[in-house]
């Protein structure tokens, strides 16, 4: 009887383990809005006190803490104006307020959150993003697009099958109604990186990146490593003080493929990758520089570094979507070589000096030079 009891327990454990592994294996590939991620599903009128949401679970699919307001875009009381480019509604987080949601993910996979956020008052505002025990503080005082359409990416690696995603306002302002405005939140599972044949650079065409909103895009700002240790651009390090911008071919001019990187912060925006090389061997680094056809104009220059070599590539932009290819040779000093790109100058759009922009980099390749 005891043997039968032990066998039954063993079978149950095996069945549960199998069921868990199957559930994990069959988890859907995530690439889209979180449930009610655009906040268009409103709280019941009885759960609203003017704009304040009353009740921890009153915002459908979300858990709220503190003063969270349900906002409609447009003119607001007190002379405010809230731009809500992606739909009609958004959520504003007051002093120490947060919204959270639990997401089913695959253990060991990397995910990127894409979300729209902007400040609503003149004070210095910060948005804290956390997932699976990791967090980053996003300074949103600087507006990179003048219409309030800034979108950001934050990446994390899943250690558990259920991850709580939290957006929190850690600040305390004199006006409790001040705080970050959240407009839309999406998630995407990052595909494993592979080398293209012969190219030592991973994701050199920037085809693997964060979710891009389909119907509206000003690009996705990629946070510097200081704020997000796991890069939302697989293979690459955002090695700077200012973010880089991930742009897609549907909304911008992209030299090659579906996506590229726009260096929007001058010398304060840099992207880098450490590649495997053979010491003393000669290699050729090639890349494309252009403009995103977004009215970013002027004399652009991208500086590229590899080994002990540097190349400055000049490009005269009229903001209409051209590009050129550049290349140079370098000798590897060790079995690891860092390649880096940054913009030498600062740029804004024609007739819109509040909209930061810059040269586009795409199609990065490093190939061994055969003698």
| Measured distance CA(220)–CA(248) in Å, rounded | 9
Percent of the chain with pLDDT over 90: 57
Query: Is the domain of 352 the same as that of 235?
Result: yes
CATH number reported for the structural domain that contains residue 91 in this entry: 2.60.120.260
At 80 the pLDDT is: 66
Check residue 13 and give its pLDDT.
41
Asked if residue 292 and residue 335 are part of one domain, the reply reads yes
Which residue, 189, 209, 239, sits at the end of a domain? Answer: 189
For residues 232 and 157, state if they share a domain: no
Look at residue 135 and tell me if it is in a domain: yes
Domain ends where: 189, 211, 229? 189
DSSP 321-368: --EEEEEEEEE-SSSEEEEEEEESS-EEETTEEEEEE--EEEEEEEEE
Residue 226 and residue 149 share a domain: no
CA 214 and chain centroid, separation: 15
Q: Reading across the β-sheet that carries 270-276, which strands appear in turn?
A: 237-238, 270-276, 336-343, 298-306, 309-317
Q: Tell me how many domains the chain contains.
A: 2
Could you tell me if 296 and 154 lie in one domain? no
The domain of 315 spans 220-368
Are the CB atoms for 326 and 304 separated by under 8 Å?
yes
> Which pLDDT does position 12 carry in this prediction?
41
Q: Is residue 197 part of a domain?
A: no
Same domain, 139 and 258: no
Min mean pLDDT across 23-32, 114-123, 206-215, 289-298 is at 23-32
67 and 108 share a domain?
yes
Cβ count near 361 (within 10 Å): 26
How far is Cα of residue 363 from the mean position of the Cα atoms in its chain?
20
pLDDT band at 17 (very low <50, low <70, confident <90, very high): very low
pLDDT for residue 20 is more than 70: no
- For the chain, what percent of residues have pLDDT higher than 70? 86
Clarify whether residues 184 and 46 are in a common domain. yes
Shared domain for 150 and 245, answered yes or no, is no
The pTM (predicted TM-score) of the whole model is 0.88
Q: Same domain for 41 and 183?
A: yes
């Amino acid at each position: 009887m005891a043997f039968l009891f032990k066998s039954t327990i063993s079978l149950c454990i095996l069945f549960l383990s199998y069921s868990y592994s199957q559930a994990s294996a069959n988890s859907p590939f995530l690439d889209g809005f979180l449930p009610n991620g655009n906040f268009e599903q409103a709280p019941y009128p009885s759960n609203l006190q003017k704009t304040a949401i009353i009740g921890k679970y009153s915002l459908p699919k979300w858990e709220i803490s503190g003063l969270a307001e349900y906002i409609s875009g447009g003119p607001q009381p007190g002379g405010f104006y809230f731009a809500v480019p992606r739909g009609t509604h958004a959520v504003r987080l007051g002093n120490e307020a947060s919204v959270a949601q639990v997401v089913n993910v695959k253990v060991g996979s990397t995910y990127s959150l894409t979300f729209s956020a902007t400040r609503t008052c003149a004070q210095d505002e910060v948005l804290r993003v956390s997932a699976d025990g990791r967090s980053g503080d996003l300074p949103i005082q600087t507006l990179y697009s003048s219409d309030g359409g800034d979108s950001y990416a934050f990446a994390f690696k899943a250690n558990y099958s259920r991850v709580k995603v939290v957006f929190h306002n850690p600040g305390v302002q004199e006006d409790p109604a001040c705080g970050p405005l959240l407009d839309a939140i999406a998630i995407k599972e990052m595909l494993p990186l592979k080398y293209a044949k012969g190219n030592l650079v991973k994701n050199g065409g920037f085809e693997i990146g964060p979710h891009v909103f389909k119907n509206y895009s000003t690009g996705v700002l990629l946070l510097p490593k200081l704020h997000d240790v796991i890069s939302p651009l697989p293979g690459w390090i955002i090695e700077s003080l200012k973010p880089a911008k991930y742009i897609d071919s549907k909304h911008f001019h992209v030299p090659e493929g579906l996506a590229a990187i726009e260096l929007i912060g001058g010398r304060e925006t840099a992207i880098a990758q450490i590649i495997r090389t053979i010491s003393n061997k000669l290699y050729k680094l090639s890349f494309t520089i252009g403009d995103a056809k977004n009215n970013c104009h002027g004399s652009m220059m991208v500086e590229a570094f590899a080994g002990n070599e540097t190349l400055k590539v000049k490009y005269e932009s009229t903001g209409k979507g051209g590009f050129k290819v550049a290349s140079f040779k370098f000798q590897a000093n060790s079995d690891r070589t860092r390649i880096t790109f940054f913009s030498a100058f600062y740029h804004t759009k024609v007739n819109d000096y509040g909209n930061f922009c810059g040269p586009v980099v795409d199609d990065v390749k490093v190939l061994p030079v055969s003698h």
